[in-house]
Amino acid sequence: MLKRLIARIDDFFYRVILKNILKLSKLGYGFIVSGAESGENFEHIYNNKPQGAFLIGKYIDKILLNLPSVRATRERKEEIKKILRKEISINRSKGRKTRILDLASGGARYLRELKIEHKNGDVESLCIDKNMRCINLGRSLAGRENVKNLKFLRGDIFRLGHLKAISQQIDWKPNVIIASGLFIYFNDQAVERVLKEIYQSLPVKGAVIFQSYENLSSRKLMRKTSSTSAGEQWTLYYRKPEFWKKLLNDIGYKEISISRDEWQMNNVCVARKDA
């Protein structure tokens, strides 16, 4: 009886009191109203400039932007950019273009920040997202920042054979495929199917880069106060590096590398298609 009462009080605190307080901040409002996975929220996280209603809202936003899980998100972006620059350098040294396919791209911030590479003409990026709001956001920001060779297309990559169909339709085959922040929302079977499709879509020695959560310090806060853009209850999947190593090996990937942030929350995985 006492445990049930404590659980109800805890639930009331998070879902009513804390939820309404967090709405005063820009990031809190975005998580609760727009859906935590929205492209606008990630743009705000990357910009790292507190905003909110009145001074209290701005102060709450500053606290949220400095949570370890949010700082880890910014660090993850820098890690992915570092990996991409390495891939671009390798391809450049071999006289070939880098063609990057970004799945569930949102605003594709890291690709936009690589705009110098895109201006050289030997990097082409195609960003796919099923959310038209994210597509419009990416197009708008890329246009404003004058990023060349970066295109956005609406599509659901969890439709069987969709990656192959897109490549055939536009006569464009990627040699780097990114799935940052995608697999954390789907079960093992769905993730395995998409990774197999990615493997089939890549040329030999092509690379897949993706992010996964091993842990999340704010998981209770997100679960009890935020929702998805569809208004559904928040569910995330947490996986250890050992899970990814086994799955990628079983599919046929080689040269598997997994890095962790200092808080051991985000894993950034890189693997190549074998001959």
Residue intervals of the chain classified under CATH 3.40.50.150 are 74-273
Handedness of CA 213, 180, 64, 52 (dihedral sign): negative
Residue 162 — pLDDT band, cuts 50, 70, 90?
Answer: low
Render pLDDT for 245-273 as a digit per residue (tens, 0 to 9): 999 999 999 999 999 999 999 999 999 99
Render pLDDT for 122-160 as a digit per residue (tens, 0 to 9): 999 999 998 898 999 999 999 999 998 999 998 887 765
Quick check: 22 and 15 in contact, CB under 8 A? no
Render pLDDT for 185-227 as a digit per residue (tens, 0 to 9): 899 999 999 999 999 999 999 999 999 999 988 888 877 887 6
Quick check: 40 and 34 in contact, CB under 8 A? yes
Residue 229 — pLDDT band, cuts 50, 70, 90?
Answer: low
- Rounded mean pLDDT, 233-243: 88
pLDDT at 87 exceeding the cut of 80: yes
pLDDT of residue 105: 92
- First-to-last CA distance in the chain? 61
Count of residues making up the chain: 275
Convert 37-67 to b/e letters by CB count within 10 Å (16 or more is b).
Answer: bbbbbbbbbbeeebebeeeebbebbbebbee
pLDDT of residue 160: 56
pTM: 0.90
pLDDT of residue 163: 72
- Rounded mean pLDDT, 66-94: 95
- Rounded mean pLDDT, 96-111: 94
pLDDT of residue 126: 93
pLDDT at 228 exceeding the cut of 80: no
- Rounded mean pLDDT, 104-123: 91
Candidate CATH numbers 1.10.3480.10, 3.40.50.150, 3.40.50.720, 3.40.50.300; the one for domain 74-273? 3.40.50.150
